[in-house]
Amino acid sequence: MSRLLTVYRAAFHGLPREVWILSIVLFINRCGSMVMPFLVLYLTSQRGFSPAEAGNVLAVYGIGAIAGTAMGGWLCDRFGHRIVQVGSMASAGVSLFVFAYLRERPAMLAGAFCLGLLAEAFRPANGVALAAFAPPNVRARAFGLNRLAINLGWTIGPALGGFLALADYKFLFWVDGGTCIAAAVFLALALPASSKELHESDEDTSGGSSPWRDGVFMLAFILLLFQALIFFQMHSTFPLYLVQERGHATNVFGLLMVVNTVLIVLFEMPLVKLVENRNPLTLVAIASALVGMGFGLLPLSGSLVWIVFLIVLWTVGEMLTAPTLTNWVVGRADHASRGAYMAAHGIAYSVAVAVAPLVGTRVWEASGPNTLWWLCLALGAITCLGFGWLGRREAPR
């Protein structure tokens, strides 16, 4: 136990003060994240939307999120990460207040688009800020700390939102909007504009000024999209499979998701510390195989022990991919194009969030769930081979 605690403390050692501030900002923001998890319930129970109409609102939010991620990266490269982060969170908070009082359906669709646009502009700016303040040797752990803050916040926000929704759904919008504004104010006060950034002019950047003209990055972008298409079955066909095909109660899915969160909170930082000097693309290749197996081997058994084991597999894959690949993406950009690279990285996830449920449910309906899971296994193998090839190609760099 003493050795384990020593390893855990070492995982947090050497992270700059600014990185902790940025992570606290995310924790404050995510503690209030309760509108999106309950939006479908709100629209169907309080506004009379059908499930399909509610899905359309989420799709419009997703379109806004893609546009917001691109806009955030563009603004960040021109005006700096601090003003974009503060502006994004503050304007998203105001949008949440307004959304609570929208009644007409066209207005709610427009509101969802604006909310996605304003809220998601924060992501690339936050990634650029972490890269600016964290030295290269601890940067992967800085991104890991950010994810730790997000997951800790997510354990509070949706749980609290469930109780608030019982009283009045408007409370969800007020609390979510309030925490957005509180996080913006905290960032503006705790991270002054004069904070020293680490502009590593001599740092090796093997990409360039645009991610869309960087062939290596674009191949990694496509491979990441493949991995994310597998991973985001977690929110659509995976719970459907547990309930309809394996006969588990609906609350079992929520309890199983706790396994994912607990593993991330307890082990991601030590894991990232352990592998921070390894080839990042080779690590993501291993992660892709784990994600593919975590979903692709579901047909072999329906027991909870087996499902928990598979969740551990794709959670380890998630922990290896997120901070490691983000660090690699930042390292390919020159200082003036970090926002564009981080935006492109975020767009891969945003597209997967929108496309994965559509593809997964259609394969399910056309050929059955087992076919979907075998396809996930095959896609995981292709992604593994692709990242493995990239890792060997980029190893000399």
- Other residues' Cβ atoms within 10 Å of the Cβ of residue 29: 28
Going 333 to 92 to 57 to 110, the CA torsion angle's sign is negative
In whole angstroms, give the CA distance from residue 110 to residue 261: 33
In whole angstroms, give the CA distance from residue 242 to residue 229: 19
Token readout for 325 is: 């690949």
In whole angstroms, give the CA distance from residue 214 to residue 141: 25
- SS3 of the chain: helix, strand, coil, percent, to 5: 85, 0, 15
In whole angstroms, give the CA distance from residue 90 to residue 11: 32
Q: By the 8 A CB rule, do 235 and 354 touch?
A: no
Token readout for 328 is: 């690699």
pLDDT of res. 202: 42
Alpha helices, DSSP H only, in 80-138? 81-99, 105-120, 122-133
Q: Which CATH number fits domain 208-397: 3.40.1080.10, 1.10.10.10, 1.20.1250.20, 3.40.50.2300?
A: 1.20.1250.20
Query: Model confidence over 94-131: pLDDT tens digits?
Result: 999 999 999 888 999 999 999 999 999 999 999 999 98
Assign domain 17-192 to its CATH superfamily.
MFS general substrate transporter like domains (1.20.1250.20)
Q: What is the b/e burial string over 296-325, where b = at least 16 CB atoms within 10 angstroms of the residue's CB?
A: bbbbeeeeeeebeebbebbbbbbbbbbbbb
Token readout for 161 is: 């939102």
Q: By the 8 A CB rule, do 314 and 263 touch?
A: no
Range 313-317 contact pairs with CB under 8 angstroms and sequence separation of 24 or more:
314/231, 314/234, 314/290, 315/259, 315/260, 315/263, 315/264, 316/263, 316/271, 316/287, 316/290, 317/227, 317/231, 317/286, 317/287, 317/288, 317/289, 317/290, 317/291
pLDDT of res. 39: 82
Cα end-to-end distance, the chain, whole Å: 38
Q: Does this chain's domain 17-192 share its CATH topology with 208-397?
A: yes
Q: Is 303 left (phi over 0), alpha (psi -120 to 50) or beta?
A: beta
Quickly tell me which residue has 């700096």 as its tokens.
80
Which amino acid type is present at position 72?
G
- Whose CA is closest to 3, among 277, 264, 268, 270? 270
Token readout for 383 is: 């992604």
Give the residue extent of every domain in the chain.
Answer: 17-192, 208-397
Q: By the 8 A CB rule, do 148 and 23 touch?
A: yes
Q: Which residues contact 366 (CB under 8 A, 6 or more apart)?
A: none
SS3 (DSSP) at 325: helix
Residues of the chain with pLDDT under 70: 1, 4, 194-208, 250-251, 254, 395-397
pLDDT of res. 299: 94
- pTM of the complete model: 0.81
Query: Model confidence over 152-181: pLDDT tens digits?
Result: 887 788 778 878 888 888 998 999 999 999
pLDDT of res. 176: 92
Q: By the 8 A CB rule, do 308 and 248 touch?
A: no
